Amino acid sequence: MPNKWSLTPFNSRHRIRGASLLEFAVALLVIAVVAVFFAERLLYYQERNEQAQMRLAVRLLDAALRIEMAELLIAGAPDAAQQLQRNPFERVQLSNYAGERAAPLSASLPSLPTGQWYYDSTHRQAVYVVASGQYLSGAQPHRQIRYRVQVSVRPGTAQMVEGVRMVALDDYRWF
């Protein structure tokens, strides 16, 4: 009498077989399709993160400029408009700020890593060099997004500052 708790089948004709080569190939194909999908989604979210970090940096620069404008107005500085036109990165420390560059844009690009800000002192512009840019359209060649400081002066006065903000110079669309 066979043991009722035995794991071996009663009939020896039933053998346990391994997976066939076709089953293995189909499983590998399914895994590859899922991996490609997740890799594409990962790249998409990495670029979304880069866009969010760039926008956050612009908002930080905006806030720093407004704080400095308030301080200059309270102090009664006669040259507030000129002081606000300085390099905006002097007011905020960003980990991805590569420094000031006086060279033409195309000449300074090979030495500048992507995903970095720099200040073009010749044109007085804050420039962000996009790392990926797969979903970016309308930006400068070399995937650059440029900003400048815009100071609003009260009409009829030469130096009375009303507002200050960072303005995008490029008509770009990111996502």
DSSP, collapsed to helix, strand or coil, labels residue 2 as: coil
Hunting for tokens 């499983």 — which residue is that?
27
Rounded Cα–Cα distance for residues 61 and 26 (Å) = 53
Q: Where are the alpha helices (DSSP H) in the chain?
A: 21-75, 80-84, 105-108
At 102 the pLDDT is 85
pLDDT tens for residues 49-92?
A: 999 999 999 999 999 999 999 999 999 998 999 999 999 999 99
How many alpha carbons lie under 13 Å from residue 135 in its C-beta half-sphere?
13
Rounded Cα–Cα distance for residues 85 and 123 (Å) = 12
Rounded Cα–Cα distance for residues 142 and 122 (Å) = 18
Rounded Cα–Cα distance for residues 126 and 146 (Å) = 6
**Any bridge partners for residue 114, and if so which?**
none
Inform me whether the pLDDT recorded for 151 exceeds 60: yes
End-to-end CA distance of the chain: 72
pLDDT tens for residues 91-135?
A: 999 999 999 998 655 655 566 789 999 999 999 999 999 998 899
> What is the mean pLDDT of the segment spanning 17-25?
87
Rounded Cα–Cα distance for residues 90 and 84 (Å) = 11
DSSP, collapsed to helix, strand or coil, labels residue 77 as: coil
Binned at pLDDT 50, 70 and 90, residue 158 comes out as low
- Tell me the domain boundaries of the chain: 21-174
Report the candidate in 103, 97, 172, 92 with the shortest Cα–Cα distance to residue 140. 172
For residue 77, count CB atoms less than 10 angstroms from its CB and return exposed for 0-12, middle for 13-18, buried for 19 or more. Answer: middle
Rounded Cα–Cα distance for residues 48 and 104 (Å) = 29
